[in-house]
Amino acid sequence: MVDEAQVLAALGLPVDVPAHWEPLGESPWSPVLLSAGGDSPIEAVIREAADPDAARNHAAVAEALARCGFAHAPRLLAMVANATIEEAVPGATAMQLVPPPGSAEAAMAAFAALHALPLREGADWDRNPGHLCPAAEVPLHRLGFSSIEREPAREPLLEAHAYLLASPFGFAHRNAVAANVLLAPGKAWLTDFSTAGHGPQYFDVAAFLLTSGLEAPGRRALAAAYARHRDVAPDTAADLIDLLGILWGIGWLLELPRQLITNLGDDSTSSALRLASSRIEKGMRQPAGDSPVAAAIRAALWPVR
């Protein structure tokens, strides 16, 4: 992480100001909460990814969001190299608490506002949807599905991929799990833009809904609320977000072993990953839409016995 003196200088604070630095995780690259005293007390979060490309991506996107006045991310106070210094907001994630009243609805408004931005910042703007999400056999065997389950799922999964390619692509968060959305009553802030850029926007909505521990009726209502913010048909969008959530969830679960290895030794992050995994598996099984393609996938992979 960046030098503490550099952070204080970037904030216009003297190096001898009373300051408390609190890591918000067990990894050396976890965000750090700074509480500095003096005549004008300040709380800020210093955020820098371990991977230099991810850190640069987050910094560039955070700066672009600040320039366009995006109101649903913590205010950018300063930057030091590839680290952002952000306003500390009074929120917690749905991995830590049940979403406060109105906060999940506020998250839908935040995603809708993000997706409506005319930005070409972040990763992969040189790649079209087919390159970003190539058609490929889904290795369901790695998730323990038998051939009896995999075979009838093959065709509806291919059909779901076609729906994915036809869904809205544009500026997206691309890692919109509950851990990256801070919630407070009636408010939501998106954080960690280390992978943001060009991508399937409905994946953002599905990722948040599946990892927030919400039951199927609530997920459908929130997907419809997002659709109304985007001025698209609520029922159609909710069905599609439910279907694409299965694709997103399978992809996330396939990546889980790598994520656990990457975070080996960081017990809090590993615990959050396992909690997200259990929520995703539960959510994928429970219909939050009426897509026949989603119903075919569920009937193949999770038959009612």
Q: In the Cβ-directed half-sphere of 237, how many Cα atoms lie within 13 Å?
A: 23
Residues 133 and 227 in one domain: yes
- For residue 95, being part of any structural domain is answered with no
- Residue 305 in this model has a pLDDT that exceeds 90: no
As for how many domains the chain has, the answer is 2
Check residue 39 and give its pLDDT: 72
Please give the residue range of the domain that contains residue 141. 103-301
Indicate if 174 and 225 belong to the same structural domain: yes
* 97 falls within a domain: no
CA distance 187 to 105: 8
> Which residue type, as a one-letter code, is found at position 200?
P
Identify whether residues 48 and 131 lie together within a single domain.
Answer: no
Three-class secondary structure assignment of the chain: CCCHHHHHHHCCCCCCCCEEEEECCCCCCCCEEEEECCCCCEEEEEECCCCHHHHHHHHHHHHHHHHCCCCCCCCEEEEECCEEEEECCCCECCCCCCCCCCHHHHHHHHHHHHHCCCCCCCECCCCCHHHHCCCCCCCHHHHCCCHHHHHHHHHHHHHHHHHHHHCCEEEECCCCCHHHEEEECCEEEECCCCCCEEEEHHHHHHHHHHHCCCCHHHHHHHHHHHHHHHCCCHHHHHHHHHHHHHHHHHHHHHHHHHHHHHCCCCHHHHHHHHHHHHHHHHHHHCCCCCCHHHHHHHHHHCCCC
Same domain for 82 and 114? no
Domain boundary among 53, 87, 121: 87
Separation between Cα atoms, residue 66 and residue 86, nearest integer Å: 11
Q: Give the model's confidence band at 253: pLDDT under 50 very low, under 70 low, under 90 confident, else very high.
A: very high
In a domain, 191, yes or no: yes
pLDDT at 6: 95
Q: CB-hemisphere CA count at 13 Å for 113?
A: 16
The mean pLDDT value for 132-140 works out to 95
Phi, psi of 22 (to 5 degrees): -120, 110
Q: Is residue 234 part of a domain?
A: yes
**Is 71 found in the same domain as 112?**
no
Q: Where residue 234 sits, what CATH number does that domain have? A: 3.90.1200.10
pLDDT in tens, 14-59: 999 999 999 998 888 899 999 998 777 899 999 999 999 999 999 9
Tens of pLDDT, residue by residue over 205-251, are 999 999 999 999 999 999 999 999 999 999 999 999 999 999 999 99
At residue 76, the pLDDT reads 97
Residue 168 lies inside a defined structural domain of this protein:
yes
Is residue 98 assigned to a domain?
no
- Check: pTM over 0.85? Answer yes or no: yes
Helix 267-285 vs helix 234-262: angle between axes, to the nearest 10 degrees?
A: 150
Same domain, 74 and 160: no
Enter the tokens of residue 305: 């016995």
What's 82's domain CATH number? Answer: 3.30.200
Q: Taking all residues of the chain, what is their mean pLDDT, rounded to a whole number? A: 96
The distance from CA 82 to its chain's CA centroid, rounded to whole angstroms, is 20
**Which one of 54, 87, 120 terminates a domain?**
87
User: In terms of domains, do 141 and 262 share one?
Assistant: yes
| Among 45, 61, 87, residue at a domain's last position | 87
Do 143 and 207 lie in a common domain? yes
In a domain, 64, yes or no: yes
Nearest Cα to Cα of residue 89 among 191, 176, 179, 209:
191
> pLDDT tens digit string along 90-126?
999 999 999 999 999 999 999 999 999 999 999 999 9
